[in-house]
Amino acid sequence: MIPAAVEHVRPETLDEALDALTDPEAKALAGGQSLLPVMKLRIVRPSVLVDIGRLGLGGVQLGDNELRLGALATWDTLESAPELKRPSLAALAGCAAEIGDLQVRNRGTLGGSLAHADPASDMPAVVLALGAEVVVRDARAERKLSAEKFFLGPFTTALAPGELITEVVFPLVEGSGSAYAKVEHPASGFALAGAAAHVTPDGKRSVAVTGVGAHPFLLPADADPLDALTEAEIYGDRFAPTEYRRHLAGVVVRRALDRARENMEKAA
Partner 1 sequence: MTESVIGVARARVDAPDKVTGATRFAADGHVHGLLHARLVLSPEAHALIQRVERNAALAMPGVVAVLTADDLPLTGAGSDRTTEPLARTEVVFAGQPVALVVAENEAAAEDAVEAVVVQYEPLPAVVDVEDAMLPGRALARVVEEEAGGGDMESIHAGVDNGQEDGDEEQLSDNVLDTVHRSSGDATALLETSDVVVSGTFRTPWVYQAYIEPQVATAWLEPNETLVVSTSTQGSFVTQRELARAFGLPLERIRVVAEPLGGAFGGKLALMEPLAAGAALALRRPVRVVLTRAEDFQATNPASAQVTHLKLGARKDGTLTALTARMIVDRGSNAGWGVEGITTLLVAGPYRWKAHDIRGYGVQTNRFTFGAYRGPGAPTAAFALETLLDELAAELEVDPLELRLQNAVVEADVGVSGNPFPRMGAVEVLERIREHPLWKTRASLPADEGVGVAAGYWPGGTEPAAAVCRVNQDGTMTVVTSAVDMSGVNTGFAAIAAETFGLSPDQIRVVAADTATGPYSGASAGSKVTYTVGAAVLKAAEAAREKLLKAASEELEIAPADLEVVDGAVRAVGSPDHSITVAEISAKALRFGGRYEPIEGHGGSAQTRGAPSVAAHLAHVRVDQETGEVTLLAHVIAQDVGRALNPALVEGQMRGGVAQGIGWALFEELVHDESGQLLTSSFLDYAIPLADRVPDIDTLIVEVPAPDGPFGAKGIGEAPVIAAAPAIANAVAAAVGIRLRELPMTAPRVWAALEDAQA
| Interface positions with ligand FAD (CB under 6 A) | 27-35, 37, 52, 71, 99-100, 104, 107-109, 111-113, 115-116, 118, 121-123, 159, 164-165, 189-190
177 binds, among ligand FAD, partner 1, none (CB under 5 to 8 A by kind): none
Among 24, 63, 186, 203, binds partner 1 (CB under 8 A): 186
189 vs 213, beta carbon nearer ligand FAD: 189
CA dist., res. 184 & res. 21, Å (int): 35
Please classify residue 163 by burial: count the beta carbons closer than 10 Å to its beta carbon, then call 0-12 exposed, 13-18 middle and 19+ buried: buried
79 vs 118, beta carbon nearer ligand FAD: 118
- If one asks whether residue 102 binds partner 1 (CB under 8 A), the answer comes out as no
CA dist., res. 115 & res. 14, Å (int): 17
Contacts of 115 (CB under 8 A, 6+ apart): 28, 30, 157, 159, 165
Distances (CA, A) of 227 to 130, 210, 253, 266: 21, 17, 11, 28
111 vs 177, beta carbon nearer ligand FAD: 111
- If one asks whether residue 244 binds partner 1 (CB under 8 A), the answer comes out as yes
Taking the complex as a whole, the smallest distance from the CB of residue 200 to ligand FAD amounts, in Å, to: 26
217-221: long-range contacts (C-beta < 8 A, 24 or more apart)? 217/128, 217/151, 218/128, 218/129, 218/148, 219/253
- If one asks whether residue 4 binds partner 1 (CB under 8 A), the answer comes out as yes
16 vs 262, beta carbon nearer ligand FAD: 16
- If one asks whether residue 183 binds partner 1 (CB under 8 A), the answer comes out as yes
- If one asks whether residue 247 binds partner 1 (CB under 8 A), the answer comes out as yes
Bridge-partner residues for 156, per DSSP? Answer: 153
Taking the complex as a whole, the smallest distance from the CB of residue 103 to ligand FAD amounts, in Å, to: 8
Say if residues 229 and 246 touch (Cβ distance below 8 Å): yes
The SS3 assignment for 153 reads strand
Say if residues 75 and 96 touch (Cβ distance below 8 Å): yes
Among 114, 240, 253, 257, binds partner 1 (CB under 8 A): 240
Please classify residue 253 by burial: count the beta carbons closer than 10 Å to its beta carbon, then call 0-12 exposed, 13-18 middle and 19+ buried: buried
5 binds, among partner 1, ligand FAD, none (CB under 5 to 8 A by kind): partner 1
- Chain residues binding partner 1 by CB under 8 A are 1-2, 4-5, 41-42, 183, 185-188, 238-241, 244, 247-248, 251
